[in-house]
């Protein structure tokens, strides 16, 4: 007899896990299907292991640096295999915690196996059919491998494959100057690897404010990273009589060649929709492969919903996926039309210093029809060295009302300091209201106050 569920969730990542738990809390009989590691990208190959490795690399690198006069740095020693082994312990613990969360819900049946839609109400798990009244697709996303001649013939790293290495390359080429490329590029740089970043666009971090991207590039280059922008990759091969990889590129009319022991591909991520049987169920995808949904997470098939990275977000964040999963499950089971307001959702890029942002960028605000002014400050000029020896802050402010539409930080611990800005943006606070708010001195968060004060003086 075929099993039947009120809700079947494909994928146990952030969106799928919280969707399943929400469905169980609402009294539904839930099937949670997972063909890979429990928990999806974040605890296994994403933000959790990445932050662990970045933190270890920072301790090693900055612990040997001459940051303050009178403080002699110690000679730190590196055992990279031990660093990776500890990272695996962190991952295993996080994965086990996800499994405990599932086991604690008696209404959830956890099914191991590759799930695929075979009709609007049926999913086959390793060939075994399961029927569900409602289905939620949360299969996540995977790193993109660009179509570069010669690349398919080589073993290259990406944010998934890098988790399994135990030895450091002597030199690394990173293809892609976005957040993943820079996080991992600096991580390897801090571990003593020679790092070259190649970016097709005219600057790194094209989605960030130009002032912040320029400042971060300067800091990375001061640490020894080589960054080449406006570069078109033409192919990957091996130079004569040398055991290494060579990337052939072009900048304008100039031919370039870069050699390294390893290549890291950071060309973005693509939703995992290719082998889900979407055509069999009538689910429509966009041209980029993401599932097309309404604002309330409903696909082209009324009882099939989607949440998380599979929807093709510009920023694929576990925090967004968690909440989308919960809302999508409730919409599917209760017929509600919950949506998510994305403007007030913060994000961070874990370089050193960190980038953190919430609200509208200056260009986004102008494109949306706002008349805006911006103010930006160099943190070293505004705050004591012990608080911010590097960094930048930028406010995007609506003219007339003086409401703050966006806050953008480049600073040590910017990922922590940005949380004040969430409420500034969500509550539509004015510059004057921020100026009347007392901040702890000296802190990175205080830079928001300093920028507001500078705006008021210039107004």
Task: Report residue 125 as tokens.
Answer: 């798990």
pLDDT higher than threshold 50 for residue 89: yes
Residue 310 contacts residue 272 (beta carbons within 8 Å):
yes
The single residue listed with the structure tokens 């970045």 is 54
Q: What is the pLDDT of residue 367?
A: 97
| Run of H or E including 397 | strand 392-398
Reduce the DSSP state of residue 285 to 3 states and report it.
Answer: strand
DSSP structural state of residue 403: B
170 and 263 in a single domain? The answer is yes
134 and 276 in a single domain? The answer is yes
User: In 127-141, which positions are buried (b, 16+ CB within 10 angstroms) versus exposed (e)?
Assistant: eeebebebbbbbbbb
Query: Is the residue at 382 inside a domain?
Result: yes
Query: Is the residue at 340 inside a domain?
Result: no
- What is the C-alpha separation between 212 and 174, in angstroms, rounded? 21
236-to-67, 75, 152, 322 alpha-carbon distances in Å: 39, 37, 9, 38
* pTM of the complete model: 0.95
pLDDT higher than threshold 90 for residue 291: yes
190 and 214 in a single domain? The answer is yes
pLDDT higher than threshold 70 for residue 1: no
Reduce the DSSP state of residue 40 to 3 states and report it.
Answer: coil
pLDDT in tens, 353-371: 999 999 999 999 999 999 9
- 286-300 average pLDDT score: 96
CATH of the domain at 321: 3.50.50.60
Domain stops at, among 267, 285, 308:
267
pLDDT in tens, 72-82: 887 788 999 99
Mean pLDDT check: name the lowest of 37-46, 175-184, 299-308. 37-46
End-to-end CA distance of the chain: 73
Q: Count of residues for the chain?
A: 459
Query: Is the residue at 41 inside a domain?
Result: yes
Query: Is the residue at 49 inside a domain?
Result: yes
131 and 239 in a single domain? The answer is no
309 and 210 in a single domain? The answer is no
274 and 263 in a single domain? The answer is no
- What is the C-alpha separation between 283 and 297, in angstroms, rounded? 12
Q: What is the pLDDT of residue 240?
A: 84
Q: What is the pLDDT of residue 133?
A: 97
The single residue listed with the structure tokens 């004015």 is 430
Average pLDDT, the chain: 95
Query: Is the residue at 128 inside a domain?
Result: yes
Domain stops at, among 334, 369, 390:
334
Report CA 343 to chain centroid distance, whole Å. Answer: 16
Query: Is the residue at 339 inside a domain?
Result: no
40 and 55 in a single domain? The answer is yes
Report CA 157 to chain centroid distance, whole Å. Answer: 17
Q: Classify burial at 433, counting beta carbons within 10 Å of its beta carbon; exposed 0-12, middle 13-18, buried 19 or more.
A: middle
137 and 19 in a single domain? The answer is yes
Q: What is the pLDDT of residue 266?
A: 97
Residue 65 CB neighbours (<10 A): 10
Domain span holding position 91: 4-142+270-334
- 264-287 average pLDDT score: 96
Mean pLDDT check: name the lowest of 63-77, 107-121, 211-225, 332-346. 63-77
- What is the C-alpha separation between 272 and 268, in angstroms, rounded? 13
- 312-324 average pLDDT score: 93
Task: Report residue 41 as tokens.
Answer: 């990208």
- 75-103 average pLDDT score: 95
- 132-157 average pLDDT score: 95
pLDDT higher than threshold 60 for residue 306: yes
Give the DSSP per-residue string, 187-211.
HHHHTT-EEEEEESSSSS-TTS-HH
281 and 302 in a single domain? The answer is yes
- Number of folded domains that form the chain: 3
pLDDT higher than threshold 80 for residue 394: yes
pLDDT higher than threshold 90 for residue 100: yes
Q: What is the pLDDT of residue 2?
A: 59
Query: Is the residue at 341 inside a domain?
Result: no
Domain stops at, among 280, 310, 334:
334
DSSP structural state of residue 22: H
pLDDT confidence band for 336 (50 / 70 / 90)? very high
Query: Is the residue at 211 inside a domain?
Result: yes
35 and 96 in a single domain? The answer is yes
408 and 423 in a single domain? The answer is yes
CATH of the domain at 427: 3.30.390.30
- What is the C-alpha separation between 42 and 25, in angstroms, rounded? 23
What residues contact 120, with CB distance under 8 A and at least 6 apart? 281, 282, 301, 303, 304
172 and 300 in a single domain? The answer is no
User: In 323-337, which positions are buried (b, 16+ CB within 10 angstroms) versus exposed (e)?
Assistant: bbbbbbbbbbbeeee
- What is the C-alpha separation between 163 and 308, in angstroms, rounded? 22
């Amino acid at each position: 007899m075929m099993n039947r569920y009120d809700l079947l969730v494909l994928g146990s990542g952030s969106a799928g896990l919280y969707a399943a738990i929400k469905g169980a809390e609402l009294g539904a009989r839930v099937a949670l299907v997972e063909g890979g590691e429990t928990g999806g990208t974040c605890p296994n190959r994403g933000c959790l292991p990445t932050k662990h490795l970045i933190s270890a690399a920072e301790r090693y690198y900055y612990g040997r640096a001459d940051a303050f006069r009178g403080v002699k740095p110690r000679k730190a020693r590196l055992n990279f295999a031990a660093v990776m082994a500890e990272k695996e312990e962190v991952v295993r613990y996080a994965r086990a915690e996800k499994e405990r969360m599932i086991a604690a819900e008696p209404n959830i049946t956890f099914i191991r196996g590759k799930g695929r839609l075979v009709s609007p109400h049926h999913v086959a798990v390793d060939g075994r059919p399961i029927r569900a009244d409602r289905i939620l697709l949360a299969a996540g996303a995977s790193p993109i491998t660009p179509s570069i001649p010669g690349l398919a013939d080589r073993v290259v790293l990406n944010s998934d494959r890098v988790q399994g290495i135990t030895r450091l390359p002597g030199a690394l080429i990173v293809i892609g100057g976005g957040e993943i490329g820079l996080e991992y590029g600096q991580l390897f740089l801090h571990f003593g690897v020679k790092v070259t970043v190649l970016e097709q666009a005219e600057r790194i971090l094209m989605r960030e404010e130009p002032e912040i991207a320029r400042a971060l590039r300067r800091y990375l280059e001061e640490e020894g990273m080589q960054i080449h922008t406006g570069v078109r990759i033409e192919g990957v091969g091996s130079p004569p009589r040398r055991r290494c990889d060579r990337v052939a590129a072009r900048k304008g009319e100039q031919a370039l060649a870069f050699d390294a022991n390893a290549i890291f591909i950071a060309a973005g991520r693509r939703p995992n929709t290719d082998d889900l049987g979407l055509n069999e169920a009538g689910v429509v995808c966009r041209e980029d492969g993401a599932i097309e949904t309404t604002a309330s997470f409903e696909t082209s098939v009324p009882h099939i919903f989607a949440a998380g990275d599979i929807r093709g977000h510009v920023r694929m964040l576990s925090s967004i996926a968690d909440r989308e999963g919960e809302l999508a499950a409730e919409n599917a089971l209760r017929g509600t039309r919950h949506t998510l307001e994305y403007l007030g959702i913060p994000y961070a890029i874990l370089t050193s210093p960190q980038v953190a942002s919430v609200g509208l960028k200056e260009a986004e605000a102008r494109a949306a029809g706002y008349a805006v002014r911006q103010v930006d400050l160099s943190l070293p000029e505004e705050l004591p060295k012990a608080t911010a020896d590097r960094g930048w802050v930028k406010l995007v402010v609506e003219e007339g009302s003086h409401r703050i539409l966006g806050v953008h930080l480049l600073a040590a611990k910017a990922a922590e300091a940005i949380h004040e800005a969430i409420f500034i943006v969500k509550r539509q606070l004015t510059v004057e209201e921020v100026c009347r708010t007392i901040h702890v001195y000296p802190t990175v968060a205080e830079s928001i106050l300093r920028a507001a004060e500078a705006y008021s003086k210039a107004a």
